[in-house]
Amino acid sequence: MLSFKYENNWYEIEYFGIKIIETKFTTNFIKSIISEDDEQAKLIIENKSFKWKNILYINEMTRYSDLISLNKNSIIYKKIIEYIGDESLIKDEIIDSIIKNINQEFEFENLLIKQYDINKIINSSLSINNSNYVEKQNLFKILNKLEFDEKKLIIFDNVNYINYEICKQLLNNFNILIVCTDIRGIINNINQLELCCFINDKKIFDVINQEKLTSYLELKMSLPISNLDIANYLENKNDQKSSIIHFYLKNIS
């Protein structure tokens, strides 16, 4: 179960590792349901509270340095330490010579002493490339290598190359929330509608099952709705029923 506080009300929707939410203003919605570290939780998944510190937030402006870092707990840092092994990143002979000569010149036995801070050396000599935005082909390579002490939540905010089929590969290691302005392109068949939730202002419609959505549309449209009608809508067909379905899903009431 996924619970969130939105517009001062708590809502519960079904959750099985991934949820797709269609709403008009995606970033505003995400900001409203994610709390800062010192605030009470506003997003709970399977009884676990999620705040910004345990969320990976990805949008079209995300850079590689937003996902990975060189802090001591990062996978990159650990790999660097493995490669260094028992070696040194600086030439000990040069450092020893500098210490000896300076101490002799100032007639002070231990004016200079050796200090080897591997973390500072790594961060002063290496950095994550921050010149490019994250690209699809590299994003999943990185995500599949990241390691965390706890299962994190990834929120995709209207990312053009994200869809359900692509995100399935992440389900073993992450909880996933896809927030978009249009579910078409995110899912590609009517069975996946059961992963979707529509939010319009303070109205929330969690599909749960396809029959529930069909019943809602038939009630609003006063027309019979078939699986083919729903499939045509998901395929962005330009027929009249698809246009009407689009209208009522955008204006959930």
Contact criterion met (CB below 8 Å) for 169 and 140: yes
pLDDT at 135: 87
pTM (two decimals) = 0.87
Cα distance between residue 96 and residue 92, in whole Å: 6
pLDDT at 210: 87
Cα distance between residue 56 and residue 30, in whole Å: 12
Cα distance between residue 113 and residue 178, in whole Å: 53
pLDDT at 248 over 80: yes
Write out pLDDT tens, residues 32-90.
999 887 788 899 999 999 989 889 999 999 998 888 888 888 888 888 889 888 888 88
Q: What is the dihedral of CA 67, 71, 73, 77, to 10 degrees?
A: 90
Helix (H) or strand (E) holding 205: strand 203-206
When pLDDT is averaged across residues 153-160 and rounded to a whole number, the result is 96
Write out pLDDT tens, residues 139-154.
888 888 887 878 889 9
When pLDDT is averaged across residues 207-221 and rounded to a whole number, the result is 91
Write out pLDDT tens, residues 100-141.
999 999 988 889 998 888 888 888 888 887 778 888 888 888
Q: Which residue has tokens 């995300």?
A: 62
Q: What is the dihedral of CA 66, 69, 75, 80, to 10 degrees?
A: 150
